[in-house]
Structure 1
């Protein structure tokens, strides 16, 4: 997948009348800069220069324009435009498209076509409908890169499954055949197959609502997929200390920044997407304020000595887009975390059980090979619960909205407490 660097800037147009700059009712422009290109879009809004916040690139709170449009309404629409542009680029990236300025203009324009202009024929090609689904759902739900990648993967599996894809194909027999294909050809675990079927159902449900899909077999299709709870991979306090204090060899100094970012996640609960999006403006004296990428939750996360120390370490170093920390791509970071943890000796054998069909498979893997950026968030949650911080407070920091999402972590902590209690038997 390609990575397209871009920047979206909102500003007032530079207009003059009789040689004097216009300061009233000035058009708001959206400028998109990418790959050496620059494209300007009209937002359709105007505002006086005195009511425009150039730093925030938004209308000042409480202001209105000549048409009595409020700052809230205008700023919401500007944010929507920016989200749309970002989603278009995400699609370009997942489909390995190097866009031209004309292609960007066309895709942006297509977002605002009247729904009546869209083809409603059920004969429309299956894959064309799938592409429409990802584009429209991605825009409406503000999908992350990860979600676009998941559905790009779903599309690839469907293409491999059949050269004659159609909605009629996915009757009960076709759905069962697809499950067998994912198990035997794609070699997926039952838990992964369950997710893939869920993604397919999402698409088929959307297609039904749009009038493309008349085959409703998916609504009652529930394959029996034996599975076990997913293992929660996290660092124990001893392992975290070991990783934190490990002295890097001279030839491995490139791992220092990766370790700092990962440890920051361990002490702040941030996902990769949120630490990557963390700006200096989000960092306050005793806390950070973030709007999460995945759920758009507004979180206030208190700093502790470790998280504050890492932020202070990089406060005077400039990073692209005014990021607070030296974050690299998620894939590279995952590779380096495994390398770092192996060097530090975090190699406790982890036993996992999963199923392929009815076949039970047991594996033993060194912990370092299972670590990823998300293990930082899991480490924070497990450690916070183990030292007695109430679940409700942890959920305020992490953004979890219900107890169900926290249950796997609570179960892990309960297991840890039970194993610790057994130490009394050795006395």
Structure 2
């Protein structure tokens, strides 16, 4: 049977369904460790089946028919595999099964994610795109938990969404990471919702699975530094030059209101002088790559 490092096809007899010495043949398709099963729709004499060779002994009309059916399924599986690769789609066992059984239900979640990164994702700022990568990684881990490598968009429903939220809340954090708080979970759900909204606009799904989902953020009281506290931070003696840079950027952010991404891209051409000699920082809000974003002005006090 066709096989490589990530794709294999195996025939076997389901002995647990044996009746009167006969059992049905199934084919197992494995892609990157994920597997699905397809019935060959032929029963054979268990005594005539060689599992090691995956062959049927004997030349009875029934056995000849079963062998022909097995060859046809192998051809269909290989054709589905080659079509997916030719179309540059993510090859999964589920997609191959859908093509073989003639139940193509359209785009999958990985198709949607790939399109988002290839097209709309190019308009996102690096920081925003990084957050989408995190959400995609958690979705992949969630699918793996459900023993799936992919899922058709049409099968994503309210239960799938809520189960994903529960997974985010209960998953063990990666090394060096903190557990997901409620607001972190809600941000991942927001990005997931935007992805599904994109699928809805393209007609890849007929209904919005998030229609009954409500995101609830927990409002946090943020303390504001007073002048004395800010001065103490500014004057603290730090032995590490890198820490000094971080401290200076933080203090500069407090005085100007600039975000980290804006401070990190600050250059001399952002500094202008008005007719009265006032010095200003003139920049564009670095959220997207949309050039129509309004600029903002910060007066530099002496």
Q: 114, 129, 149: which is aligned to 1:131?
A: 114
User: Does the residue aligned with 2:225 lie in a helix, a strand or coil?
Assistant: coil
Q: Distance in 1 between matches of 2:248 and 2:280?
A: 18
The 5 A counterparts of 1:203-352 are 203-222=195-214, 228-232=218-222, 234-248=224-238, 251-285=239-273, 286-294=279-287, 296-305=293-302
Whether 2:178 is the aligned partner of 1:192: answer no
Contact 1:167 1:214 in 2 (8 A): no
Given the superposition, is the C-alpha separation of residues 233 and 146 from structure 1 closer, same or farther in structure 2, using an over 3 Å criterion? farther
Compute the displacement of 1:124 (Å).
3.1
Calculate the aligned-residue CA RMSD, in Å. 2.3
Aligned residue in 2 for 1:176: 162
What CA deviation, in whole Å up to 9, does each residue of 1:311-362 have, x standing for no partner?
xxxxxxxxxxxxxxxxxxxxxxxxxxxxxxxxxxxxxxxxxxxxxxxxxxxx
TM-score under structure 2 length normalisation: 0.53
Q: Distance in 1 between matches of 2:151 and 2:223?
A: 38
The 5 A counterparts of 1:24-423 are 123-139=106-122, 142-162=123-143, 163=148, 164-185=150-171, 187-222=179-214, 228-232=218-222, 234-248=224-238, 251-285=239-273, 286-294=279-287, 296-305=293-302
Q: Distance in 1 between matches of 2:244 and 2:187?
A: 36
Contact 1:159 1:165 in 2 (8 A): no
Q: Distance in 1 between matches of 2:210 and 2:136?
A: 17
Q: Which runs of 5+ in 2 are unaligned?
A: 1-103, 173-178, 274-278
Given the superposition, is the C-alpha separation of residues 193 and 252 from structure 1 closer, same or farther in structure 2, using an over 3 Å criterion? closer
Q: Tell me: higher relative CO, structure 1 or 2? Use CA pairs within 8 A at least 6 residues apart.
A: 1
Compute the displacement of 1:214 (Å).
2.9
Contact 1:287 1:302 in 2 (8 A): yes
Compute the displacement of 1:260 (Å).
2.5
Q: Distance in 2 between matches of 1:185 and 1:247?
A: 40
TM-score under structure 1 length normalisation: 0.39
Compute the displacement of 1:175 (Å).
1.8
Aligned residue in 1 for 2:60: none
User: Does the residue aligned with 2:107 lie in a helix, a strand or coil?
Assistant: coil
Q: Distance in 2 between matches of 1:303 and 1:173?
A: 52
Q: Distance in 2 between matches of 1:238 and 1:122?
A: 63
Compute the displacement of 1:233 (Å).
5.2
Q: Distance in 2 between matches of 1:194 and 1:263?
A: 30
Given the superposition, is the C-alpha separation of residues 252 and 170 from structure 1 closer, same or farther in structure 2, using an over 3 Å criterion? same
Q: Distance in 2 between matches of 1:304 and 1:254?
A: 26
Compute the displacement of 1:234 (Å).
4.4
Q: Distance in 1 between matches of 2:181 and 2:237?
A: 38
Give the number of equivalent residue pairs.
179
User: Does the residue aligned with 1:244 lie in a helix, a strand or coil?
Assistant: helix
Q: Distance in 1 between matches of 2:246 and 2:209?
A: 47
Given the superposition, is the C-alpha separation of residues 183 and 256 from structure 1 closer, same or farther in structure 2, using an over 3 Å criterion? closer
Q: Distance in 2 between matches of 1:253 and 1:195?
A: 34
Given the superposition, is the C-alpha separation of residues 183 and 231 from structure 1 closer, same or farther in structure 2, using an over 3 Å criterion? same
